[in-house]
Structure 1
């Protein structure tokens, strides 16, 4: 017999109540059927495509890959949650076990697993270059970056290229090791590597990376004004800051009890304006600092002080 989990959400607008009931089917008696790679199979390519049958009404699937197995794992190389019933990744030559479970908000199936091996193709041009670092779509705040990848059997040279957003080659190296260092431009760049020998080459394997080495602009506090005296404990803070082109920026506001900025009352990541409730009969000091996705930091704003009666 199927079991169901019931979730009730109540929204009150003015004096009108509206009730929404969401029923999630219990998945604990269901099973995920793996399609590929099947148990005991060998994949003669570093690019591995995983697929399994859908479970109704699962809303997502958790996929894990371990080396060499989950019982004696040296490394869990992948642990991800997906809405689809397929997934692709590159793996080095080795023995692996993969498993999938279906899940929804209230329950999940048990894992279904299969073991497989990855070997290099006998055909050199069909081999894959497995890129190691940096990770795909990584955001970095330094321009000098070392790229690394796995060795490809029978390769004598690796050709490494940087491509701009129009896919034009802007830099290139041919190296005999499995790493190369480049100075990347600001912004998003594609880097790609192929293996070569005297007569043949593989296809390129590629990733993108975003470089943002510019600090956000220094914020300027505006409200409450310096030396202001307030009567409400609900304090509206506002500030301005010039936007710098690059990765996403955000602000953090800090409120202290002392001018040395050591006795922190509250810290919030916020957008201006923002409201913070503080205690009465006190004097406060506040600053704002900006950050971005790459890890850059602005100068801290000038310290402003105010009192609440």
Structure 2
């Protein structure tokens, strides 16, 4: 069928878009000429809040951003406050009262933009009661299988100590809080007594004032491995044609599965693709040659990183 000129033009345009998209998957775009525009805080902004939310426009094809904050300015640097590489176009930082300048550039694996224009920021001294502590780690909704965890938070100007609370009932009963202590530093190591969900928060204190409580962060402790799975298909010693659909039972607490496929000696991994980390309980195996015996087994992993015992080792022969 002969295309009309308009149809041919549309076809060529669509083809060029597909080609450009395909090229982009293999050739990383150069972003060096793309500008970074700062959003907030605006230039010459003054704040009585010590927690500053930095924000800038995203740059297409950037993989991460470099944020730099100095005091009092880049022409007369008295101190480097922050020089960090982040994936997001937002970042929160706690600053002492003083004068600051900040800038951002976008980066990917092969290029980087120029730094943005400089924004000047002034943090004005204020009451500790108006401030809030920022929790650093572990991040909110972390699930861990490590019994010993270090809780960390940021410092607040004029604070002399920090009040840490840890609970399992979201601080509903002030008389039965799991951990309730005041320490001079900004971290505390705690060993979880059992598998459970925990909540923690911090406030800063001085001789005369105390800050607001921080946000409440959740952390789950789980040191119990998922139940082992049972291989269901193909049957052990089955003779079967490719591709072979491998299947096993689901484990109730598993979030992923680790599939081990071995050569005929039952111990050498079949290829560098194994063990394969999967989020389903099925896998299509298309390798191997006729008459070859293949062994396989599976383990289950939960969100905390606990791994179950390996399933029974089974084999099949390729038809």
Asked if TM exceeds 0.5, the reply is yes
Question: Is it true that 1:284 corresponds to 2:294 in the alignment?
Answer: yes
Question: Is it true that 1:99 corresponds to 2:101 in the alignment?
Answer: no
Instruction: Indicate the structure with greater strand content.
Output: 1
Task: Note the 1:209-228 alignment, pairs <5 A.
Answer: 209-228=219-238
Task: Note the 1:58-69 alignment, pairs <5 A.
Answer: 63-68=65-70
Structure 2 CA distance for partners of 1:63 and 1:299, relative to 1, 3 Å: same
Question: Is it true that 1:198 corresponds to 2:207 in the alignment?
Answer: yes
Structure 2 CA distance for partners of 1:63 and 1:47, relative to 1, 3 Å: farther
Alignment partners' CA distance in 1, 2:283 and 2:74: 48
Q: CA deviation at 1:199?
A: 2.9
Match of 2:258 in 1: 252
Structure 2 CA distance for partners of 1:43 and 1:116, relative to 1, 3 Å: farther
Structure 2 CA distance for partners of 1:213 and 1:258, relative to 1, 3 Å: same
Q: CA deviation at 1:257?
A: 0.8
Aligned residues: 277
Match of 2:245 in 1: 236
Alignment partners' CA distance in 1, 2:140 and 2:312: 38
Deviates more, 1:139-148 or 1:41-50: 41-50
Alignment partners' CA distance in 2, 1:226 and 1:53: 57
Structure 2 CA distance for partners of 1:276 and 1:196, relative to 1, 3 Å: same
Match of 1:20 in 2: none
Q: Kindly indicate whether the alpha-carbon contact (under 8 Å) linking 2:166 and 2:180 is maintained by their aligned counterparts in 1.
A: no
Which of 81, 84, 87 does residue 80 from structure 1 map onto?
Answer: 87
Query: CA RMSD for the aligned pairs?
Result: 4.1
Q: CA deviation at 1:161?
A: 1.5
Q: CA deviation at 1:279?
A: 1.6
Match of 2:93 in 1: 90
Paired residue secondary structure (1:125): helix
Structure 2 CA distance for partners of 1:193 and 1:120, relative to 1, 3 Å: farther
Q: Deviations over 1:163-210 (max 9, x none)?
A: 447552542322223222334464543311001223321011233323
Q: Kindly indicate whether the alpha-carbon contact (under 8 Å) linking 1:100 and 1:113 is maintained by their aligned counterparts in 2.
A: no
Q: CA deviation at 1:154?
A: 3.8
Q: CA deviation at 1:283?
A: 0.9
Unaligned runs of at least 5 residues, structure 1? 10-26
Question: Is it true that 1:273 corresponds to 2:273 in the alignment?
Answer: no
Instruction: Indicate the structure with greater helix content.
Output: 2
Q: Kindly indicate whether the alpha-carbon contact (under 8 Å) linking 1:218 and 1:241 is maintained by their aligned counterparts in 2.
A: no
Alignment partners' CA distance in 2, 1:92 and 1:208: 25
Q: TM-score, normalised by structure 1?
A: 0.71
Question: Is it true that 1:135 corresponds to 2:142 in the alignment?
Answer: no
Which of 173, 182, 189 does residue 175 from structure 1 map onto?
Answer: 182
Q: CA deviation at 1:155?
A: 3.0
Structure 2 CA distance for partners of 1:289 and 1:236, relative to 1, 3 Å: same
Q: Deviations over 1:89-126 (max 9, x none)?
A: 133449563326699xxxx9755242556758342223
Structure 2 CA distance for partners of 1:91 and 1:258, relative to 1, 3 Å: farther
Structure 2 CA distance for partners of 1:120 and 1:287, relative to 1, 3 Å: farther
Alignment partners' CA distance in 2, 1:92 and 1:233: 62
Match of 2:116 in 1: 112
Q: Kindly indicate whether the alpha-carbon contact (under 8 Å) linking 1:250 and 1:291 is maintained by their aligned counterparts in 2.
A: yes
Q: Kindly indicate whether the alpha-carbon contact (under 8 Å) linking 1:157 and 1:174 is maintained by their aligned counterparts in 2.
A: no
